[in-house]
């Protein structure tokens, strides 16, 4: 059986660094205070200095660095916040990238609340993943589901019709079964909402991935699917997929990398030089704080700020899940008793209760 047809073999060979040529843009965050609350300060936007083979990434890397340095994001933008909001910095980055797109290309986005490796659920192992047995027998499992529930899913082999197969795999993913599909959206605000939704306040560094799609349809992984009544979520979320059924040996071996930009919220330690210390009111360093807790609070308040801004633009989690069972789950999460917090103050951090 060719590697392309064998999910277990493909999972063993998969390495995102070989599949994607990734340019990172770090929004470096550190700590400061307002009204006694520890909040974040956006120090700088930093474009990586790696050598990229992809021409589009090389051009963006060369042009974006000076632009971001000129933004002076560490300057105050409101009386109660001594730097840009990370939300507006993300929006500016997205705008700058979009303005530099070549004719015939568009961008799609994916947000996630941590900096884990990009891989479809079918390729994952451990608590949130699947066994080798599941991957080896995936085709038969998919076929048996289609035979048992023909009103919901139809079976198409990987060689039969990739478009129809992807549409049916999307149905399986809709109900929670692992597939070779990764969700993306044409709307960056929707992807930002997924980036911050369900953030666990444990110091994870959220990220927003940007992918470039050829409008002539000649794409390595990008896959649009037919929107169905029972899967209205795809339409509401402006959704499409990265379809790893399309990943062949050229992609797995690193011979043909896919360009990708990864925007990361990154915590950096606060540093005060001797000149700054002299100018402090008491002429001494502030009381030392637990570095791990500082990182958690900085990232959590940045996430809360993004949530607050998205909410002001009417991007809310409950609107992205029109399915009855998912909508009720969102409501349950929204109204869970997690402590007394003023929701109008984005800089307040809710402690994680376990």
Q: Is residue 238 part of a domain?
A: yes
The domain of 185 spans: 3-334
Does a structural domain hold residue 350? Answer: no
Please say if the pLDDT value at position 312 is more than 90. Answer: yes
Quick check: is 353 in a domain? no
DSSP secondary-structure letter at 341?
-
Both tokens of 45, joined, read 């936007």
Confidence of residue 317 (pLDDT cuts 50, 70, 90): confident
Q: Is the pLDDT of residue 94 over 60?
A: yes
pLDDT, one tens digit per residue, over 244-299 is 999 999 999 999 999 999 999 999 987 655 455 445 444 444 555 688 988 999 99
> Does residue 162 sit within a domain?
yes
Q: How many domains would you assign to the chain?
A: 1
**CA-CA distance, 125 to 11, in Å (whole number)?**
10
342 domain residue, yes or no: no
In sequence order, which residues have a C-beta less than 8 Å from that of residue 31 and are 6 or more positions away?
Answer: 38, 39, 40, 41, 270, 289, 294, 297, 298
Name the average pLDDT for the chain. Answer: 85
Distances 227 to 15, 62, 183 between C-alpha atoms, Å: 31, 39, 14
| Of 323, 172, 149, residue with least CA distance to 235 | 323
Whether 10 is in a domain gets the answer yes
In a domain, 349, yes or no: no
Domain assignment present for residue 345? The answer is no
- State what percent of residues in the chain have pLDDT above 90: 60
pLDDT at 127: 84
Lowest mean pLDDT among 111-115, 189-193, 235-239: 235-239
Q: Mind listing the pLDDT tens digit for each residue in 137-178? A: 999 999 999 999 999 899 999 999 999 999 999 999 988 899
pLDDT of res. 227: 61
């Amino acid at each position: 059986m060719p590697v392309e047809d064998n999910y277990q073999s493909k999972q063993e060979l998969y390495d995102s660094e070989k599949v994607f040529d990734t340019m990172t843009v770090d929004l470096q965050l550190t700590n400061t205070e307002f009204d006694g609350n520890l909040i974040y300060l956006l120090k700088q936007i930093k474009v990586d200095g790696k050598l990229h083979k992809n021409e589009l990434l090389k051009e963006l890397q060369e042009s974006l660095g000076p632009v971001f340095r000129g933004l002076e994001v560490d300057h105050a933008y409101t009386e109660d916040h001594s730097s840009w909001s990370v939300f507006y910095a993300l929006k500016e980055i997205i705008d700058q990238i979009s303005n530099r797109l070549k004719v015939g290309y568009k961008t799609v986005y994916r947000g996630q609340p941590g900096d884990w490796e990009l891989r479809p659920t079918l390729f994952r192992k451990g608590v949130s993943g699947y066994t080798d047995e599941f991957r080896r027998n995936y085709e038969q499992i998919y076929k048996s589901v289609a035979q048992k529930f023909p009103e919901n899913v139809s079976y198409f082999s990987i060689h039969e019709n990739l478009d129809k197969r992807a549409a049916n795999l999307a149905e399986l993913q809709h109900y929670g079964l692992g597939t070779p599909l990764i969700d993306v959206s044409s709307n960056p605000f929707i992807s930002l909402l997924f980036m911050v939704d369900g953030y666990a306040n444990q110091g994870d560094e959220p990220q927003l991935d940007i992918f470039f799609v050829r409008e002539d349809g000649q794409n390595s992984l990008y896959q649009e699917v037919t929107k169905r009544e029972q899967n209205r979520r795809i339409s509401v979320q402006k959704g499409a997929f990265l379809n790893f059924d399309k990943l062949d040996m050229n992609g797995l071996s690193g011979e043909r990398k896919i360009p990708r930009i990864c925007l990361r919220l990154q915590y950096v330690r606060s540093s005060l030089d001797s000149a700054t210390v002299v100018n402090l009111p008491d002429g001494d360093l502030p009381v030392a704080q637990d570095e791990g807790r500082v990182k958690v609070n900085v990232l959590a308040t940045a996430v809360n700020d993004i949530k607050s801004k998205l909410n002001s633009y009417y991007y809310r989690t409950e609107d992205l899940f029109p399915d009855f069972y998912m909508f009720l789950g969102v409501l349950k999460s929204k109204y869970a008793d997690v402590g007394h917090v003023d929701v109008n103050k984005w800089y307040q951090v809710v402690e994680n209760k376990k």
